[in-house]
Amino acid sequence: MPTEVILPKVDMDMSHGTIAAWHVAEGAAVTQGQPLFDIETDKAAMEVESPADGMVHHQTPAGTEVAIGTPVAWLYAEGEEVGPRPDGAAPAAPDARAAAQPLPQDPGVPAADHRAQPAPDQTPSAPAPKTAPDPPSDLRPDPTTGGLRATPAARAAARDAGVDLAAVSGSGPRGRVQRGDVLAFAPRRRAPSGPAVPLVLIHGFGADAGVWRALEAAVDPSRPVIQLELPGHGRVPAAKIRDFKDLVSRIRTEFDALDLPLAELVGHSLGGACALALADTRAPRVAGLTLIAPAGLGPQIDGAAIAGVARASKAESLGPWLRGMVGAPAALSDRYIAAAARARADAGLHAAQSQMAEVLFADGVQTFDLTPALARVGCPLRLIWGKRDSVIPWRHALRAPGRAALHLFDDLGHLPQIEDPAAIAALIAPVTTTTVGRAVHA
């Protein structure tokens, strides 16, 4: 059976979207992850990737506005017979009648049966209407019950996190919201309240948002905290990174999507380099910058540790590398290492991270230099480093300009926020919009 390509929900308030352009011609082959088409909503334009490999058929023409969840094309396997549109709708002219038909989704019914279904009142030559059809009844939230397509696990996760499921876009078949969708949505925003400027945390190479857990618990709970994850890390899909600039542009897109008027950036290691690059290009929106053992301030880095972490797939192989990074090996519990290893169990993640390491830290050398950017930082800037850091030499901190605050800890290694979260949280004192205003304009 061909794979359905639906119009995904890419925006919270989105009910319809317009197909702006197809990247792949009708009948051509695509591979999973390849850009397939662009959609435009009232607010944004967005590229949609192909959900599977196959030949694209029955494309809904560019310029057509359709409801979310509506099929806009089908992917056929090599050699699979291409009949009429599997949903029986009139090609290129989705109308209310076609949309009202139940979707042929019973996997037990062979495709031939769908073909046998009459497609009533087909009007192949009718121009594509600008108005969208209603989504098929089983895709549309029920107006009385608010029913929507989500797995039990997603519902449970949404309950736990206090997330409104309707706000989460589903990555599953036919837009089904899955647990991962809720998790990816939920932890990013700790309810903003009060005038505090949100903290935006960017983790380092080989880690994920979990690296901030201890610090997050130690900072003022009224402070909104938002975590950005690097491509190929945590829950962010793997992507081939061309160079550091490419990495930063992806992080910048994520940051822009947060739509924050003001934020304080905290970055660790490679995430520190990203935070610095972000502060350089988004200066008006960055109220403060905290760099913890950042990359990008000198060529030296422990290439073996980087490669080791990228490859590590289990606690036994990850543990020694991580323990070698901290001032006191006992600072990392077995539980922390087991959890970190579990989060890294995906083979695709190793490949992506190894590729990234090769590009960014070729031959054990940091290939990008951010010292000019460091000199340009206009907002309050602090660098935090452990003098026992074996991954990136703490002396790189000495390249900071005179107005930066340096916090150098004798007994800490490369992971200060895990080794002594309370001390690091104390440094990241609450910054309110008013104090920021003074700091920036004084």
Partner 1 sequence: MDGAPPTRDLSFAEALREAMDIALAEDDRVVLMGEDIGVYGGAFQVTLDLVHKYGAERVIDTPISELGGAGVAVGAALTGLWPIYEFQFSDFSTLAMEQIVNQAAKLRYMLGGAVSVPLVYRMPTGSGTGAAAQHSQSLEAWFGHVPGLKVVQPSTPADAKGLLLAALDDPDPVLIFEHKLLYKTKGAVPEGRHTVALGTAETRREGRDLTLVASGVMVDRALEAAEALAGEGVSAEVIDLRSIRPIDRDTVLASVRKTGRLMVIYEAVKTLGIGAEISAMVAESDAFDFLDAPIVRLGGAESPIPYNPTLEAAAVPQIADIVRAARDLAGGVV
Would you tell me which residues interact with partner 1 (CB under 8 A)? 3, 52, 151-156, 171-173, 178-180, 342, 345-348
Compute CA distances 127 → 2, 61, 118, 131, 435, whole Å: 26, 10, 21, 11, 59
CB of 411 to partner 1, least distance (A): 36
Q: Which is nearer to partner 1, 154 or 251 (CB)?
A: 154
Taking phi first (over 0 means left), then psi (-120 to 50 degrees means alpha), and beta for anything else, what does residue 166 get? alpha
Least spacing, CB of residue 343 vs partner 1, in Å = 11
For partner 1, give the closer residue by CB, 25 or 347. 347
Rounded least distance, CB 350 to partner 1, Å: 9
Kindly state the smallest distance separating residue 348's Cβ from partner 1, in Å.
6
SS3 10: coil
CB of 156 to partner 1, least distance (A): 4
Q: Given the complex with partner 1, which of 45 and 156 has the nearer CB atom?
A: 156
Shortest distance, position 69 Cβ to partner 1, whole Å: 16
In whole angstroms, the minimum distance from the beta carbon of 178 to partner 1 comes to 5
Amino acid (1-letter code) at residue 7: L
Q: Which is nearer to partner 1, 54 or 88 (CB)?
A: 54
Nearer to partner 1, 153 or 408 (CB): 153
Cβ distance to partner 1 smaller for residue 171 or 355 = 171
* Distance between CA atoms of residues 302 and 318, nearest Å: 15
Q: Residue 259, class by beta-carbon neighbours within 10 Å (0-12 exposed, 13-18 middle, 19+ buried)?
A: exposed
Judged by CB, which is closer to partner 1: 170, or 288?
170
For residue 145, the minimal CB distance to partner 1 (Å) is 19
Residue 13 gets the label, from left (phi > 0), alpha (psi -120 to 50) or beta, of alpha
Q: Which is nearer to partner 1, 72 or 279 (CB)?
A: 72
**Alpha carbon distance 49, 14 (integer Å):** 18
What angle (nearest 5°) sits at the alpha carbon of residue 206, between those of residues 202 and 207?
50
End-to-end CA distance of the chain: 65
Pair 350, 335: CB distance under 8 Å: no
| Interatomic CA distance for residues 261 and 251, integer angstroms | 17
Residue 171's contacts (CB-CB under 8 Å, 6 or more residues apart) are 8, 177, 178, 180, 181
Q: Which helix (H) or strand (E) holds 324?
A: helix 315-325
